[in-house]
Amino acid sequence: MTPTARFGERLAAAMAAHGPLCAGIDPHAPLLAAWGLSDDAAGVERFGRTVVEALAGNVACVKPQAAFFERHGSRGVAALERVVADARAAGLLTIVDAKRGDIGSTMAAYADAFVGDSPLAGDAVTVSPYLGFGSLRPVLDLAAANGRGVFVLALTSNAEGAGVQHALGHDGRSVARAVAESAARENSGASPFGDVGLVVGATVGSAVEDLGIDLDAVNGPLLAPGVGAQGATAQDLQRVFGHGRRLVLASSSREVLQTGPDVTALRDAARRSADAVGVALAR
């Protein structure tokens, strides 16, 4: 079903209502075991649907990691479809963390799968721009036509990412800065913000400042993994995002998920995380 409002508008409303937190749905093998679930398609489905049940109406959105479902083959993909459907029925925004990236007709096919009329399509998808930002055009255009969003990898928190993302192009700009400025053009004039977000790790330290990136000018949501168990602090959020803090959607997985499978415990952990992030970003 095609949304009736732009993704940026819907996400801004959800963040205002529930706080700037996106809870991951990451059913990896050790966590499934801790929850007493089988490491198979049935286990990941039960995991994902329990998280949706617990967090609908309590967080701005959830982010199922597609790989943890896909590793179980067609039944795992079907489980992801049911998790996305549950979230949609509950009015909970979903970012499908698929990190797809390719060119031409292949990227168009990924667009159909994740932002088109497909049971895999949530409210937004993560994508990789490292075949060139222009390679994302099929997914950007179809997402816009369908009221969905796109989160583009820009500054990731893994150490290896810097070798690509900090590299300078022929014009002297870093790759990450060029990605951010391309996203800003997509979001120009949008209010309260646009539909093309960036993934910027909350643990990237001074990279944003060092590379001359103006995150506030992106005018799109900034999905910030690294909050909670990965160690990002309130000071990190303030240092990394600066005046762009209004755009931050902090992502937390382990800190919330480790409290399951009890629905009440999951809900309470998510509320604590959302409140803590909200306070940190408001400073």
Q: Is 99 a catalytic residue?
A: yes
Assess contact for 22 and 251: CB atoms under 8 A: yes
pLDDT at residue 228 is higher than 70: no
Comparing CA positions, the residue from 105, 117, 103, 184 lying closest to residue 147 is 117
Query: Distance between CA atoms of 225 and 254, rounded to whole angstroms?
Result: 11
Number of H helices, E strands in the chain: 14, 8
- pLDDT at residue 168, as a whole number: 96
pLDDT in tens, 237-248: 888 998 899 999
Q: So what's the pLDDT on residue 107?
A: 98
pLDDT of residue 88: 97
CA distances in angstroms from 39 to 27, 30, 31, 36, 70, listed in the order given = 9, 9, 9, 10, 12
Half-sphere exposure of 182 (CA within 13 A, CB side): 22
Q: Of the listed 49, 82, 99, 166, which one is catalytic? A: 99
User: Residue 234: pLDDT above 70?
Assistant: no
| pLDDT, tens digit, 9 for 90 and up, residues 80-109 | 999 999 999 999 999 999 999 999 999 999
So what's the pLDDT on residue 113? 98
pLDDT tens for each residue of 128-156: 999 999 999 999 999 999 999 999 999 99
Fold of 7-282: TIM Barrel (3.20.20)
Residue 229 has pLDDT above 80, yes or no: no
CB atoms within 10 A of CB 16: 11
Domain parsing of the chain, residue ranges: 7-282
Highest mean pLDDT among 25-39, 219-233, 236-250: 25-39
pLDDT tens per residue, range 165-207: 999 999 999 999 999 999 999 999 999 999 999 999 998 989 9
d(CA 223, CA 214): 15
34 has a pLDDT exceeding 80 = yes
Q: Residue 4: pLDDT band by 50, 70, 90 thresholds?
A: confident
b/e map 118-141, b = 16+ CB within 10 Å: eebbbbbbbbbbeeebebbebbbe
Task: Write down how long the chain is.
Answer: 283
Quote the tokens at residue 244: 């762009």
